Amino acid sequence: MIERDQLKDLVPHGYAEEDERKLDTRDVNYKQRKKGLVTMSQIKWSDSMSVNNAVLDAQHKEWIAIYNRMDNILLHGELGQLDNAVIDAFKAMQEYASYHFRQEEEYMEEIGYPDRVMHKRMHTDFDDQLYNYSKEIRRGDLVLGTEVMSILKNWLLNHIMREDQQYCVFLTQKEADA
């Protein structure tokens, strides 16, 4: 537990004493952020992420925006409001992922992408992972910090830049052969 005299260095001005109990070992990420020890990074869209489908590109951009909002909440959120904001943001991430996966899977079916079953399995596995994280966050068993955000970021970037690019290449080749 943080000592009372250390609070002035770790929390924003106007910090309510009744929230002091929240600065325990579960809030290591918060303490480190206030000391400037933890930084997360935003994802910036680039044209190299495009799958040459305006609808799916727009969805990828929105998904990145949701991730970036979660990152902002963790970096700049007020302690007393952090828990609810994180839960809400994570729920938005989870819901949007499910929505996007359905759309992308329909598109892969439409273009006849041969690896769509494997791709769908990746979606299902990630959706399950998000669901499990969500349960743990709501129960208070998991603090959404740098480790989880890093997993989300890496999965999102890897999936768009590698896995999704494969159906883009497939369609380009299919159209060239036609």
Predicted model pTM: 0.73
Q: How far is CA 99 from CA 59, 70, 111, 161, 167, in A?
A: 9, 18, 19, 19, 19
pLDDT for 8-33, tens place per residue?
A: 333 333 333 334 333 333 444 444 44
Structural domain tally of the chain?
2
Q: Are residues 11 and 75 in the same domain?
A: no
Q: Are residues 101 and 32 in the same domain?
A: no
Mean predicted confidence (pLDDT) in 73-82 = 71
Domain of residue 7: give its range.
1-38
pLDDT for 97-137, tens place per residue?
A: 999 999 999 999 999 999 999 999 999 999 999 999 888 88
pLDDT for 59-70, tens place per residue?
A: 999 999 999 988
Q: Are residues 33 and 50 in the same domain?
A: no
- CB-based contact 85:74 (threshold 8 Å): no
* Residue 79 pLDDT class (50, 70, 90 cuts): low
Provide the 10 A C-beta neighbour count for residue 127: 14
Q: What is the pLDDT of residue 160?
A: 95
Q: Are residues 52 and 18 in the same domain?
A: no
Distance CA 64, CA 58 (A): 10
Give the DSSP per-residue string, 12-73: -TT--GGGGGG-SGGGHHHHHHHHT----------GGG--S-HHHHHHHHHHHHHHHHHHHH
Distance CA 69, CA 25 (A): 25
Q: What is the pLDDT of residue 58?
A: 97
Q: Which of 22-26, 44-48, 165-169 has the lowest mean pLDDT?
A: 22-26
